[in-house]
Amino acid sequence: MESRVYKNILIATDGSELAQKAIQQGLALAKALGAKATAITVTEPWTAVVSGELGMAFPIDDYEKGCAANAERILAGVSAAASKAGVACDTLHVKDQFPAEGIIEAAKARGNDLIVMASHGRRGVTRLLLGSQATKVLTHSTIPVLVLR
């Protein structure tokens, strides 16, 4: 059996309270292993969020500025937590991607060997309607994924 020590951890966050668990655990793991850490947040394409007449009332420029500001706020919080924990942590904002795809592509491109993320643990119809980014990452990633609930 191959022994694996993670050296390059990608921590996914959407800024939610639940994602804080993933940030705390991911940073703690990175510190314990002496691994590099990168926090990522992904912004969905404007067309996935806004459609029809709403698109006229909410221009793409406003959407992109709002997303950039939100991502900056989320990632600044992770940077502060990493600094407090004594862990070096890069940050990454991936734009115009669906979260699961953005996380997987970034992990491959950056050479990450572990993805840490939270799951809301939805079941039944709610999960079918909303989908689960964690499930999509688990299903499509070739890199190990640590999911926290």
Q: Which whole-number Å values give the CA distances from 16 to 13, 33, 148, in the listed order?
A: 7, 26, 13
Cβ atoms of 41 and 11 closer than 8 Å: no
Q: Which whole-number Å values give the CA distances from 29 to 66, 82, 86, 116, 143, in the listed order?
A: 32, 12, 12, 10, 16
Name residue 89's beta-bridge partners. Answer: 37
Full-model pTM: 0.87
Separation between Cα atoms, residue 68 and residue 25, nearest integer Å = 25
Per-residue pLDDT of the chain (149 residues; tens, 9 = 90+): 455 689 999 999 999 988 999 999 999 999 999 999 999 999 988 876 666 665 566 677 888 899 999 999 999 999 999 999 999 999 999 999 999 999 999 999 999 999 999 987 666 555 454 458 888 999 999 999 999 88
Separation between Cα atoms, residue 73 and residue 21, nearest integer Å = 17
Kindly report the backbone phi and psi dihedral angles of residue 113, in degrees, each rounded to the nearest multiple of 5, phi listed first.
-115, 5
How many residues does the structure list for the chain? 149
